[in-house]
């Protein structure tokens, strides 16, 4: 059972700058893994993330390190023990899911005993900017059901207030991307509740979130950078009320499905998130979105050019990609 492997990096520009508390992004570099067997091809995408010490070269090198095992017929369970969670394992895992479904003449949805995803509400992101400009951006999305507001630690009240005034009916997720202190988080609790914020995502640095164990927040707090894999679940369950599962953190759909079950067993809420990516990353994530409390899969909507058979997005409603892209 010989399999062939190829992988390459692809650059794609964004429609507009994507600003968070750690910096600005104007393009992405995606690594696509392709696995062929018997004339059938499966594909998966991983997005290297500098926050986790990844770049396209390191991700490609990780993929190349298991070339001989892929050639010998590596499957998804075998992959889990070969590579750590991250973008490289995600690209390979999703490629193997796609390949397995195509070889069997079925879909990944059917393999999991789930209906094919249809449409779902996704958060639309308001990029970090001056409060006035954030309000203008929110006004353009005022009819969307769910907005994610990127903030920093300098003037978060003004940033959030500008968005709330421009989009009074939308549910809000506030995401400081590790940019707050514990004191600031405590001070903001009454304001966050008054502003009708639904969720605060990763307010504190991941290596300085132990203070959350003694905090009873007025608004639930979600772990993003603090949560990657099952090894983190016990620690974060004592500090957070929600986890953000991203395939590039978990290292693929296989482990992400396990993480979702772990969170539910502990009474935690689940967000399904993504990096800024193409629809090839979003297709497998949609399977998790079917049983999520929050969906944040607008990554492809930031791109100037996505795959022709990619997801659609209108007014915060995300529609699934076609099966020619990935056997969803």
Q: How many domains does the chain have?
A: 2
User: For residue 159, is it within any domain?
Assistant: yes
Which of 78, 111, 144 finishes a domain? 111
User: For residue 324, is it within any domain?
Assistant: no
Same-domain pairing of 144 and 292: yes
Same-domain pairing of 49 and 140: no
pLDDT at residue 206, rounded to an integer: 96
Task: Provide the residue range defining the domain that includes 28.
Answer: 4-111
pLDDT at residue 23, rounded to an integer: 83
Phi, psi dihedrals of residue 317, rounded to the nearest 5°: -105, 120
Same-domain pairing of 197 and 166: yes
Same-domain pairing of 95 and 241: no
User: For residue 294, is it within any domain?
Assistant: yes
Q: Which residue has the tokens 């909507």?
A: 301
Which of 94, 111, 128 finishes a domain? 111
pLDDT of 22 above 80: no
Same-domain pairing of 161 and 298: yes
User: For residue 326, is it within any domain?
Assistant: no
pLDDT at residue 3, rounded to an integer: 97
Same-domain pairing of 19 and 63: yes
pLDDT at residue 24, rounded to an integer: 84
Same-domain pairing of 34 and 182: no
The three state secondary structure string of the chain is: CCCEEEEEEEEEEEEEEEEECCEEEEEEEEEEEEEEECCEEEEEEECCCHHHCCCHHHHHHHHHCCHHHHHCCCCHHHHHCCCCCCHHHHHHHHHHHHHHHHHHCCCHHHHCCCCCCCEEECCEEECCCCHHHHHHHHHHCCCCCEEEEECCCCCHHHHHHHHHHHCCCCEEEEECCCCCCHHHHHHHHHHHHHCCEEEEECCCCHHHCHHHHHCCCCCCEEECCCCCCHHHHHHHHCCCCEEEECHHHHCCHHHHHHHHHHHHHCCCEEEECCCCCCHHHHHHHHHHHCCCCEECCCHHHHECCCCCCCCEEECCEEECCCCCCCCC
Average pLDDT over residues 24-33: 94
Same-domain pairing of 192 and 307: yes
pLDDT of 217 above 80: yes
For residue 272, the cross-strand partners are 245, 295
Same-domain pairing of 225 and 310: yes
Same-domain pairing of 160 and 213: yes
User: For residue 14, is it within any domain?
Assistant: yes
Domain CATH number, residue 196: 3.20.20.120
pLDDT of 19 above 90: no
User: For residue 327, is it within any domain?
Assistant: no
pLDDT of 21 above 80: no
pLDDT of 20 above 90: no
pLDDT of 31 above 90: yes
How many Å apart are CA 45 and CA 286, to the nearest integer?
Answer: 14
Phi, psi dihedrals of residue 10, rounded to the nearest 5°: -125, 130
Average pLDDT over residues 168-191: 98
For 192-201, the pLDDT digits (tens) are 999 999 999 9
Which of 111, 129, 157 finishes a domain? 111
For 84-132, the pLDDT digits (tens) are 999 999 999 999 999 999 999 999 999 999 999 999 999 999 999 999 9
Average pLDDT over residues 294-311: 96
User: For residue 155, is it within any domain?
Assistant: yes
pLDDT of 25 above 90: no
Average pLDDT over residues 46-58: 94
- Give the predicted TM-score (pTM) of the model: 0.96
pLDDT at residue 211, rounded to an integer: 97
pLDDT at residue 51, rounded to an integer: 87
Domain CATH number, residue 29: 3.30.390.10
Average pLDDT over residues 154-159: 97
- The overall average pLDDT reported for the chain is 96
Q: Which residues are catalytic?
A: 150, 246
Same-domain pairing of 197 and 71: no
User: Is 93:79 a contact under the CB 8 Å cutoff?
Assistant: yes
User: For residue 248, is it within any domain?
Assistant: yes
Same-domain pairing of 264 and 186: yes
For 261-289, the pLDDT digits (tens) are 999 999 999 999 999 999 999 999 999 99
Average pLDDT over residues 26-43: 97
């Amino acid at each position: 059972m010989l399999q062939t492997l190829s992988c390459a990096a692809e650059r794609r520009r964004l429609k507009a700058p994507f600003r968070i508390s750690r910096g600005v992004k104007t393009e992405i570099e995606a690594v696509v893994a392709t696995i062929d067997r018997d004339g059938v091809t499966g594909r998966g995408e991983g997005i290297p993330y500098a926050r986790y010490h990844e770049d396209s070269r390191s991700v490609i090198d990780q993929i190349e390190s298991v070339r001989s095992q892929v050639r010998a017929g590596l499957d998804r369970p075998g992959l889990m023990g070969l590579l750590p969670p991250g973008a490289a394992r995600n690209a390979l895992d999703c490629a193997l899911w796609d390949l397995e479904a195509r070889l069997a003449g079925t879909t990944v949805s059917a393999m999991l005993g789930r209906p094919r995803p249809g449409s779902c509400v996704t958060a639309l992101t308001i990029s970090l900017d001056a409060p006035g400009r954030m309000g203008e951006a929110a006004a353009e999305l005022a009819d969307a059901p769910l907005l994610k507001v990127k903030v920093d630690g300098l003037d978060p009240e003004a940033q959030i207030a500008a968005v709330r005034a421009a989009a009074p009916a939308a549910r809000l997720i506030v995401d400081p991307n590790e940019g707050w202190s514990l004191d600031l988080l405590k001070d903001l609790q009454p304001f966050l509740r008054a502003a009708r914020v639904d969720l605060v995502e990763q307010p504190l640095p991941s290596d300085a979130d132990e203070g959350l164990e003694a905090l009873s927040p007025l608004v639930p707090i979600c772990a993003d950078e603090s949560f990657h894999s099952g090894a983190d679940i016990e620690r974060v369950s004592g500090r957070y009320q929600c986890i953000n599962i991203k395939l590039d953190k978990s290292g693929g759909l296989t482990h992400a499905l396990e993480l979702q079950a772990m969170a539910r067993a502990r009474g935690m809420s689940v967000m399904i998130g993504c990096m800024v990516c193409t629809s090839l990353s979003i297709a497998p994530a949609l399977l998790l979105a079917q049983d999520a409390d929050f969906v944040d899969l607008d990554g492809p909507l930031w791109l100037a050019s996505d795959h022709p058979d990619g997801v659609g997005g209108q007014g915060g409603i995300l529609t699934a990609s076609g099966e020619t892209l990935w056997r969803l």
